[in-house]
Amino acid sequence: MGGLAGHLPLILMIVLQIHYAALAIFTRAALLDGLSPTVFVVYRQGIATLSLAPMFFSPKRRQSVKNSLGFRSFTLMFVTALVGVTANQNAYFRGLYYASSTAATAMSNLIPALTFVIAAIVGFEKIDLRSLRSMAKILGTVCCVSGALIMAFVKGQKLLHTEFLPSIHLTSSGGDDWLLGCLLLLASSVFWSSWMILQVPIASCCPDHLLSTFWMCLFSTMQSAIFALLSEPGDLQAWILHSPLQFSCSLYAGIGIAVSFFIQSWCISERGPLYCAMFNPLATVITALITATFLQEELYVGSLIGAVGVIAGLYIVLWGKAKEFEEVKQEAPQSNSQDDGINSRIDLEEPLLSEKSEHVAEAENKV
C-alpha cells in the first residue's frame, strides 16, 4: 500500500496527539471552573455513545452486531471499558485537576515504556537482543520517554519571553494535592497501556472497530455513572454545567473520544499497540507549543532539548518497526498476500492477530 494511504496511520496518530494536548489544556480550565471530574467523565462518555448511536443502528452493521454478541466479545469489551476507560479517565481527570496539564502530558509519556513492557511479557512484542531492530525499539523507547520527561521537568534558560500579555495560570499550587495528582496520572498511564494491549484480542473477535468503540463507550458510560453516584451521593449541583466553558468542554471531549477511540483501535490493528503508544510523547511537545503561543507561558532550553529527544526516539522506534515490517512481508507467502486483504495490512502484529483469529474461530466452532 503506497501513497497517502500507506502513511494514514502516521498522520492520524499525529492528529490524535494534537487533540489530546488541546483536551488536556481545555479540560484543565473547565475543572478549575468548577466542573466535577467524575461527572465530566459520565457526560463525556455519554456524548460519545450518543454520537456513535446512529452509525451503530445502521442496516449495514446488523450483521456485525450479530457477530459481536458472543460472550467472549462482551466480556473483553466490558473489562476493557472498565480498565481502559472508566478507571483510566477518572484517574486521569482527577489527577489533571490536582496537578496540571503539563504534568498530565508528561506522565502519559510513560505509556510507551509501560506498553512495551506489558506487550513483551504477554508475547505481543518480540524481543531479540541480538537483533538491531529490537535494540532500536528499546533504545527509541528510552530516548523518547527520557526526552519527554526532560522537557516537562527541566527548565534551563528562557528561549521566549512573553511578558507583553497577561499570563494565564493553569498550574497547581503543589503540596499533597500535586503528589496525589501525579500518582493518579501514573495509574492512568498503566490503565491506558492495558487498554492498548487489550485492543489486540478485541480486534480478533470484533474486527469492526466502530462497533467495538460503541460498546466500550456504552459500557463505560454506565460504569462511570455508577461510580459518580457512589462518589458524590446526593450532590445534584455537581451534575449541572454552570458555564459555557463546562458545556463546550464536555461536548468537545465526548465527540473527541468517540473519534479518537475509533482511530486508536484502527491504528492498533494496523500497526500494533507499541506503534500507537510511541506517539504519546508528542502530546507533551504540542502542549508546550500551545501553552507558549496561546497561554503566554515561557519556553525553556529544557523544552527544546526534550522535544529533540522525543522526536529522535520516535524515529528510532519507527525505523525498527519498519525493518520488522519488511521482514514480515518477505516471510509472508505471496498467495496469502493476495487472498487475505486484512492480513496484508498488518505489520509486525500480523502473526499475532492471525493466531488470535484462529483461536477465536476454533472456539466458536466448538461452541
- Is pLDDT of 166 > 50? no
pLDDT in tens, 10-63: 899 999 988 888 888 888 888 888 889 999 999 999 998 898 888 767 666 666
Q: State the average pLDDT for the chain.
A: 76
**What does the pLDDT average to over 305-321?**
79
Cα-based distances in Å from 166 to 24, 163, 295, 303, 311: 21, 7, 9, 22, 31
Q: What's the pTM value of the predicted model, to 2 decimals?
A: 0.70
Q: Is the dihedral of CA 218, 224, 228, 229 positive or negative?
A: positive
Give the per-residue pLDDT at 357.
37
- Measured CA to CA, the distance from residue 217 to residue 119 in angstroms comes to 24
Quick: pLDDT tens for 76-110: 889 999 999 999 999 999 988 887 777 777 777 77
Please, are residues 64 and 211 in contact by the beta-carbon 8 Å criterion?
A: yes
Q: Which of 245, 202, 249 is nearest to 72 (CA)?
A: 202
Q: Where are the beta strands (DSSP E) in the chain?
A: 158-160, 299-300
Residue type, 247: F
Asked if the model's pLDDT at residue 352 lies above 60, the reply is no
Residue 67 grid coordinates: 457477530
* Cell numbers placing 251: 461536548
88 backbone dihedrals φ, ψ, rounded to 5°: -65, -50
The whole-number average pLDDT for the span 223-239 is 87
Residue percentage of the chain with pLDDT more than 70: 77
Q: What is the pLDDT of residue 220?
A: 93
Residue 264 and residue 216: Cα distance in Å, rounded?
Answer: 13
| The predicted structure's pLDDT at residue 320 | 80
pLDDT score of 365? 40
- The SS3 call for residue 210 is helix
pLDDT value for 226: 94
pLDDT of residue 152: 63
pLDDT the model gives residue 42: 93
**Model pLDDT, residue 323:** 77
**Residue 227 scores a pLDDT above 90:** yes
Residue type at position 6: G
Distance in angstroms (rounded) separating the CA atoms of residues 195 and 77: 10
Q: Provide the 8-state DSSP code for 85.
A: I
**Residues 28, 100 contacting (CB under 8 angstroms):** yes
* Cβ neighbours for 173, distance < 8 A, ≥ 6 positions apart: none
**Which residues does 275 contact at the CB level (< 8 Å), separation at least 6?**
9, 13, 267, 268, 317, 318, 321, 347
Range 244-254 average pLDDT: 91
